[in-house]
Amino acid sequence: MNKGYIKIALALLSVASYMQNIVFARNTITNNKPSNEDDKYKAYFNPAGAKKVIEAKLAKQAKQAAGISTDALALVQKYAKHTKDYQPYSKEGEEPILYFKRVNNTDIGKLEFTIPNPDNYADVVSMIWDPNGAKHFDDTFIEGYFPEVYNENLAIVQHRYKSPIKSWPLFYHALASKVELSEKKTVILLVSSNIDDCYYHFNKKYINPIVKSANPFRPYIDSEDDIRNGKLIKIYVNLVGFIIEKEADCVKITYISSFNLDFSPEYPDHLARKVLADRILKVIKLKDIFKGNKPISIWNLKKN
């Protein structure tokens, strides 16, 4: 055979072998691609698939959130019982009396008071559950909304407040739930976890010292630019619970509250407790809002 033809044949065989290697490599990469990457790829090019992925994720979150709410409810009911380890904080003669006790190295406050006229029960529940309801009784409250809603009684809430010691506003994200125990008794709960809300200080991890089941709960919240850029100070709700009861002649409220206000470790404990006490005592203004004998429409309040 002519040497020229032999060289051409060898060159063609080399090219064919090279192409086979490329095909084999591509097939190997495709076959070894992780299943989650396949899902992301399919979801990206398949809106229906993407919707199913999101719905499945939210369903899983909702189930986890419901479990946390159940645990938080049990804890609020436990701390609502007056025990000897509660110490009065309010001055003698002041009513209602605010109590504190230490649990897992953090303060828990307890406050009980009544609102005239049992017919105000539904409007009291509506005001406290409203993400902007606090503006009626807390002069430091700025605004709130639900960035994620699992159902009508289970959501993630964002609340913003003026800071009592710094010029930058405060904010928190918390799991919010409303539990109707009976026609005359409702509990509203707030619990923070290590939520991924794009806060600029992303390396800081929060561990809830009261509601331990909340700690694995890490939903993603697409926060506003001022949160992403560190223009607000992030605080956390260890546990908040409003037990609202319709009684024969009044509405009884038991308020349980524990916050992580992100103070420096050097910040004196008695001053930190005072800041928390001031926050808790603001809810007493509900007595003034509903002080008349006639029930008050929540819709009229919203117009003001």
By percentage, how much of the chain surpasses pLDDT 90?
A: 64
Residue 135 and residue 272 in one domain: yes
Q: What is the per-residue pLDDT for 224? A: 96
Instruction: Determine, yes or no, domain membership for 72.
Output: yes
Domain identity same for 129 and 221? yes
Is pLDDT above 70 for 34? no
Residue 12 belongs to some domain of the structure: yes
Do 104 and 232 lie in a common domain?
yes
Answer yes or no: is pLDDT of 90 > 70. yes
Print the domain residue range for 212.
59-303
Give the mean model confidence (pLDDT) for residues 258-283: 89
Q: Is residue 53 part of a domain?
A: no
Please check whether residue 80 lies inside any domain of the structure: yes
Counting residues of the chain whose pLDDT is more than 70, the rounded percentage is 78
Residue 51 lies in a domain: no
Domain presence at residue 146: yes
The DSSP output letter for 91 is: P
pTM of the model: 0.81
Q: What is the mean pLDDT of residues 4-15?
A: 44
Fill in the amino acid letter for 13: L
What's the pLDDT at 247? 97
What CATH number did the domain enclosing 253 receive?
A: 3.30.530.20
pLDDT value, residue 42: 56
Read off the pLDDT of residues 257-267 as tens digits, 9 standing for 90 and up: 999 998 877 88
Same domain, 16 and 126: no
Give the pairing of strands 170-182 and 233-234: parallel
- Angle between helix 47-80 and helix 35-45 axes, rounded to 10 deg: 110
For residue 54, is it within any domain? no
Domains in the chain, number: 2
Do 98 and 14 share a structural domain? no
What are the beta bridge partners of residue 100?
Answer: 87, 109
- The answer to whether residues 93 and 129 belong to one domain is yes
99 domain-assigned: yes
Task: Express each pLDDT in 139-162 by its tens digit.
Answer: 999 999 999 999 999 999 999 999
Rounded Cα distance, 168 and 67, in Å = 34
